[in-house]
Amino acid sequence: MKIIKETEKKFLFYVSFISIAFLLFIRFYANVFETPVRTWDDRYYRSVAVNEAQNSSALEVIKKVILPNDQNYFGERSRGYHSWLVLFVKIFPSVDYERSLLWLNYFFLLVQLGLILAFAHWAFKDANYALAFTFIYVSTPIIHGMSGWIMTENLVLLSLSLFTYCAVNLVYDEKDKNLLKPLGIGFLFGIFSTTREYVMPTLFAIIFVVTLSMWRRRRFLFLGAYLFVFGFYAAAMASWLPPILERIGEKSKLEIYSYPLGKWLSTSFFLNVGPAAIILIIIAIPYLALLIRRVVRSRGVKVLKSTPSLFLFSNISLAILYAAVIVLSTNRTVRSCIPLIFALFSIILFSVKLAGSSGFKVNHNVVTATFTVLIAVSWMFNIYQLFYSYNGGKGFAVHPYNPKYEVYNHPLRLPLLKDSTDMHVSPKWAKDIPYWKLTRDIPEDIERVD
């Protein structure tokens, strides 16, 4: 029986490992051989990044990325992501920035994958389950698909995983007395705090949990070192906090992205999150909630005051907050579901950690079978999106006011563009859209799209 169990787990390990490797190969292949997607935003981001890189010294660019700079919080529309694009252009000059800048996203995807794998391994204490969980996460269409777009959400996805894993690493490793760790983590928090404003609640929640946990454990020196370094970035952030909050309020009231919640969930949300992640969340969270209930009955209410519980409750609060924003806001873009999905995945991992540290075990056969089925479901959905959807790519055109066309895991074989003014944009949308009257960076040739 033990031999059968080990064989099943090895099978899950190899399936998960090969799946991750093949998914990364697909993204690599797309960067090298396929037509990059071109829309109004990414064309603008590319052009301003190249222009700034050509007019800035290498030292100026590096300082803007790593040092506190209020323009990273309220400068370009893409915030800190813009500085990373400029740095990439400066380090790797190219004649084809439309394609070469995608490698920055690929690097972000690799780092994000490594962080999620380390986070999952910390929770499961099992390489097989950690690999399987990591694949389900990274194969979520909006997560790996976003690497094909020059959009700030690539930095959003990386920052969410970095904040969470670094916080866990800082709080839990009590034997480490090296002050370089909290200094370095404070530095990383500062650099990546330039992510988009709509994930600030996650950053603030994680900082609160880290501060409370280390204060309770009387690790004042470590806490002081961490907050000292991050404080410089927080000061730069605070100077622009009021206008950022005002912008969030304005965006939440925009009706141009408004369509019924049911339609949004059944089209845009489903197409970008995918069935595998949705099924995992629906199955795992109720099951783990029952497991935590057993933990509380066995060990008492005091277990809810532990550090894993603090992280767990903070992510439950974040999930409720982000879900409420989606439900109540008139502005429903699919990118707003990114922090919600990450919070739900984090709830799963912190619940697993809390149950495991309390001595409760899961049924390995059930977990292995569930992960195996979800990996198959994920591949079926991703293969359809990458190779068959939108008539094999020929019919793909972005239309942000039609939820079925707001898909970030676009087909690989996109139509070839006619010239530098052409874009993968719905012609009807390009002609009728009132949004261009509200923005400063209007492409003068937008009417030429057909």
Q: What is the pLDDT of residues 84-99, one digit of tens each?
A: 999 999 988 877 888 8
User: Which pLDDT belongs to residue 359?
Assistant: 62
Q: Which residue has the tokens 């057909």?
A: 450
Please indicate, yes or no, if residue 448 is contained in any of the structural domains. no
Name residue 398's beta-bridge partners.
Answer: 425
pLDDT digits (tens, 9 = 90+) for 246-299: 666 666 566 666 677 887 787 778 888 999 999 999 998 888 888 777 777 776
* pLDDT computed for residue 267 by the predictor: 78
Does 393 map to a domain?
yes
Q: Is residue 432 part of a domain?
A: no
pLDDT at 429: 45
How many of the other CB atoms lie within 10 Å of CB of 216? 12
**Is the per-residue pLDDT at 437 higher than 50?**
no
pLDDT at 21: 97
pLDDT at 257: 62
- In a domain? residue 433: no
pLDDT tens per residue across span 103-122: 999 999 999 999 999 999 99
Question: Is residue 411 within 8 Å of residue 232, measured between CB atoms?
Answer: no
Does residue 402 contact residue 433 with C-beta atoms inside 8 Å? Answer: no
| pLDDT at residue 319 in the model | 94
Structure tokens at 420: 């530098």
The answer to whether position 52 is within a domain reads yes
Looking at the predicted structure, is the pLDDT value of residue 73 above 50? yes
Per-residue pLDDT at 78: 58
Helix or strand (DSSP H, E) at 259: none
Return the higher-pLDDT residue of 368 and 361. 368
**Backbone φ, ψ for residue 390 (5° rounding):** 50, 45
Alpha-carbon span 236 to 73, nearest angstrom: 8
Number of domains in the chain: 1
Burial of 133 (0-12, 13-18, 19+ CB in 10 A): buried
User: For residue 335, is it within any domain?
Assistant: yes
Q: Do the domain assignments include residue 330? A: yes
Answer yes or no: is 413 within a domain. Answer: no
- The domain in which residue 205 lies consists of 2-405
